[in-house]
Amino acid sequence: MMSGEEKIVSAFKSKDWQEIKAEDSWKIFKIMSEFVEGFEKLARIGPCVSIFGSARTTPDNKYYKLAEEIAYKLTQRGYGIITGGGPGIMEAGNLGAKRGKGKSVGINISLPFEQEPNFFIDSDKLITFDHFFVRKVMFMKYAQGFVVLPGGFGTFDELFEAITLIQTGKIGKFPIVLVGKSYWEGLIKWIREVMLEKEHNISPGDLDIFTVVDTSDEAVEIIDTFYSKYMLSPNF
């Protein structure tokens, strides 16, 4: 595995046209194969609620317990659970799904550190990707809702990707629930006061794309209410 400096040197190293063409062609085939595998496997599973959050959250953390509760309660209402397949909040989501005897799906990513699949994913429902953007497509395509607990850059990437796609009309609206008011309040305040009111970079209605809650019951109710309104059932 190349170090950070070696990757920089390799990226700027001069290559002839044949090298570039050959390398890019193999990358395209690899990316296509990931899309095909993901679509085939997830199409058989059907849509689920995606649970996001930090891979570093430990089992004694309140948000780990909250993620497990939410996943369990969602399975009791007929929803499957899909996570990033790793430890932390992702593990908690799969644990709750397993405890609730619901579908427990893991969309894992190959990383040089920190991302071994957890033990609570159904054996036939684990998919591992090399490319983040392919993985995100799978989350979007098969999500009936996003439940987002405290996390880092990866969690924010997935959250804002979904918000942007809904805002721009590239995908249909689905419920996005942010869990943990104390964690999200600073970000929401900045979005409202700076992004919206000061700079006018978004519209007032964009704040309605997501909802912030504190409890597992609130999170589950928002997703259930959304689908009841449109007379849709879990895993339609």
Taking residues 168-191, report their average pLDDT.
96
Mean pLDDT, rounded, of the chain: 89
CATH code, 108: 3.40.50.450
- Residue-wise pLDDT for 189-205, tens only, equals 999 999 999 999 999 99
- The answer to whether 82 and 139 have CB atoms below 8 angstroms apart is yes
What strand order describes the sheet that includes 143-148? 126-129, 104-109, 81-83, 48-52, 143-148, 176-179, 210-213
Residue 6, domain member (yes or no): no
Residue 3, domain member (yes or no): no
Residue 234, domain member (yes or no): no
What integer pLDDT is reported at residue 230 of this predicted model? 65
Distance of CA 9 to the CA centre of its chain: 32
Residue 141, domain member (yes or no): yes
Residues 6 or more apart whose CB falls under 8 angstroms from that of 30 comprise 130
CA distances from 133 to 7, 36, 99, 136, 217 (A): 20, 14, 30, 5, 31
Residues 6 or more apart whose CB falls under 8 angstroms from that of 23 comprise 15
Cross-strand bridge partners of residue 124: none
Residue 13 has pLDDT above 80, yes or no: no
Residue 45 has pLDDT above 90, yes or no: no
pLDDT bucket at 109, cuts 50 / 70 / 90: confident
pTM to 2 decimals? 0.86
pLDDT bucket at 89, cuts 50 / 70 / 90: very high
Question: From the CB of residue 236, how many other CB atoms can be counted at a distance below 10 Å?
Answer: 10
Residue 4 has pLDDT above 50, yes or no: yes
Taking residues 146-162, report their average pLDDT.
96
Residue 8, domain member (yes or no): no
Total domains present in the chain: 1
- Residue-wise pLDDT for 123-139, tens only, equals 999 999 989 899 999 98
What integer pLDDT is reported at residue 50 of this predicted model? 96
Domain, as residue range, for 167:
15-229
Residue 58 has pLDDT above 90, yes or no: yes
Q: Compute φ and ψ for 87, nearest 5 degrees.
A: -85, -170
pLDDT bucket at 232, cuts 50 / 70 / 90: low
Residue 236 has pLDDT above 50, yes or no: no
Residues in the chain: 236
In percent, how much of the chain has pLDDT > 70?
A: 86
